Amino acid sequence: MTLYSRVRPLAFTLPAETAHDLGKRTLRAAQSTRPTRAALSYAYRYDDPALEVDLFDTTFPNPVGVAAGFDKNAEVTHALAALGFGFVEIGTVTPYPQSGNDRPRLFRLREDEAMVNRMGFNGQGMERVKSRLEADGTPSIPLGVNVGKMNSSDEREAIEDYRRVFDRLSPFADYVVVNVSCPNTPEEFDEGSPEHLRAIFETLEAENDRDVPILVKIGPDEPEESVFDLVDIVREFDLDGIVATNTSTSREGLDSPRQEEWGGLSGKPLEDRSTAVIRSLAEYTDGELPIIGVGGVDSAESAYAKIRAGASLVQLYTGFVYEGPSTAKRINRGLSALLERDGFSSVEDAVGADLE
C-alpha cells in the first residue's frame, strides 16, 4: 500500500479544487529547497535510456508528461520534474489574469475514474508566469507552453492574444501549444474555423524568429473530416505536431451521478476515444506528424497503447490525481518492461507499431 493510497481517501473528502490547491502547495514547498527536491527525485525518478525520446530538437528523458491545466501558472514545474515526469506543459496561459468560472467547477466522478471541469481558463496571466519562470528557472525537463485567449476576446482580439502570449513565453518553451479546443470557455465565434486557424498560424509564424515548435491541441468530439481539415492546415503552415485530445462533452457510459455537471470530461472514459483519434491522425499523416497523446493515461498499458497507436509522447492529468506522486515512476517502469517484452529497443521504435 502506497502512502498516497492512504492519504487519498482523506484528500477526496475535500472539494476537488481545494485538494488540488493543497497538493500544489505541498509540491511548491517540496521544490523550494535542494534537499527536498533531491529526496523526491531519489524516491520517484525512474531512468532508462530506452525511454528517451528525441523530438522538437530536444531530448525528453521519458515520454510521460504532465498535461496542461495541472500547473497553469508554472508554480511546480521543478517538483514535477523531481517526480519523474519526462516533460511538463504549463498553461493554458492567457495575456491577462482571469478568474475563470464560478466555483465549484471541478468534480470527481469516482465510479468512473474521471473528472469533469469547467475551470474556464482561470490563470494569473502571462506576466506573472514569465516572472516566475525567470525567478525559479525552467525545469530540468522539456517545458511546453499552452497558450490561449481571454474569454472576452472577439475573433480579431483572440489572434492578438495568442500572439502576445507566444511573444512573451516562447523564449522559455521547448514547444508551444495553441489551444483551440477547450469545451468550457464561452465561444462567441467558431474557434476551429479554417479562416480563424489560418489567421492564428500566420500571425505566430511571423512572430516565430527562434523557430519554436508549434502544435495545436484538438478535442475528441470533432467529426473525423474536420480533424483532417485541421491537419491539412497544420501541414500548410508546416506546424510541428498535434496534441490529442482535450476533454470531452460526451457523457456516454458513465455511472457517477456527478456526470450531470456541465464541463469537460477527462480520465478513464476518455481513454479509448482519444487513442482512436491518435490512430486516425497517425494513419492520415503516415506517422509523419508528431502526436502528443493525452486522455485517460494512468498506467504503463494505457501509455503504451497510445504510443503504439502513433503518439511520440503522452501526457496525463486525471490519472495523476487518482494515482498520486508515484504515477510517472510506475508508468515508466512498466513501459520499460513492455518494450523489452515486445522486442523494441526504444520508445521511438514502438511509436505507431499498431498501424497498418
Among 247, 237, 168, residue whose Cα is nearest residue 200: 237
56 annotated binding-site participant: no
Distance CA 38, CA 31 (A): 9
Distances (CA, A) of 356 to 11, 44, 278: 44, 36, 14
Does 294 help bind ligand FMN (rule: CB under 6 A)?
yes
Q: How far is the CB of 188 from ligand FMN (least distance, A)?
A: 19
Task: Determine the angle formed by the axes of helices 224-236 and 194-207, rounding to 10 degrees.
Answer: 30
247 counts as binding ligand FMN under rule CB under 6 A: yes
Query: Which one of 43-51, 188-196, 281-289, 290-298 is the stretch in contact with ligand FMN (CB under 6 A)?
Result: 290-298
**Considering the complex, what minimum distance in angstroms separates the CB of residue 49 from ligand FMN?**
26
Binding flags for ligand FMN, 4-43, as an x/- string (CB under 6 A): ----------------------------------------
- The reply to whether 318 sits in an annotated binding site is yes
Query: Per the annotation, does 84 bind a ligand?
Result: no
221 annotated to a ligand binding site: no
Minimum CB–partner distance for residue 179 and ligand FMN (Å): 4
DSSP symbols for 194-229: HHHHHHHHHHHHHH-TT---EEEEE-SSS-HHHHHH
Residue 7: CB partners within 8 Å, gap ≥ 6? 324
- Name, in order, each residue with C-beta under 8 angstroms of 189's C-beta and a sequence gap of 6 or more: 154, 155, 158, 196
Give CA–CA dist 248/266, Å, rounded. Answer: 7
Residue 323 CB, shortest distance to ligand FMN, in Å, is 11
Beta bridge partners of 176: 145, 214
> Which positions from 52 through 111 interact with ligand FMN, judged by CB under 6 A?
67-69, 72, 91-92, 106
Respond yes or no: is residue 130 known to be catalytic. no
List the one residue from 73, 94, 98, 146 that touches ligand FMN (CB under 6 A): 146
In sequence order, the 6+-apart residues with CB closer than 8 A to the CB of 48 are 62, 332, 336
Which residue in the list 182, 212, 234, 316 is annotated as catalytic? 182
> Which residues have C-beta within 8 Å of that of residue 157, sequence separation ≥ 6?
149, 150
Q: Pairing state of beta strands 143-147 and 175-179?
A: parallel
| Interface with ligand FMN (CB under 6 A), residue from 86, 295, 325, 352 | 295
Distance, in Å, from the CA atom of 30 to the CA atom of 36, rounded to the nearest integer, reads 6
Q: Which stretch binds ligand FMN (CB under 6 A): 45-53, 222-230, 313-321, 336-344?
A: 313-321
Output the smallest distance, CB 260 to ligand FMN, in A: 17
CA dist 167 and 209 (Å) reads 10
For position 270 contacting ligand FMN by CB under 6 A, the verdict is yes
Catalytic residue annotation: 182
Please give the annotated binding residues for substrate, written as ranges: 72, 117-121, 179, 184, 246-247
Where along the sequence are the contacts to ligand FMN (CB under 6 A)? 67-69, 72, 91-92, 106, 115, 117, 119, 146, 179, 182, 217, 246-247, 266-267, 270, 294-297, 316-319
Please give the annotated binding residues for FMN, written as ranges: 68-72, 92, 146, 179, 217, 245, 267, 296, 317-318
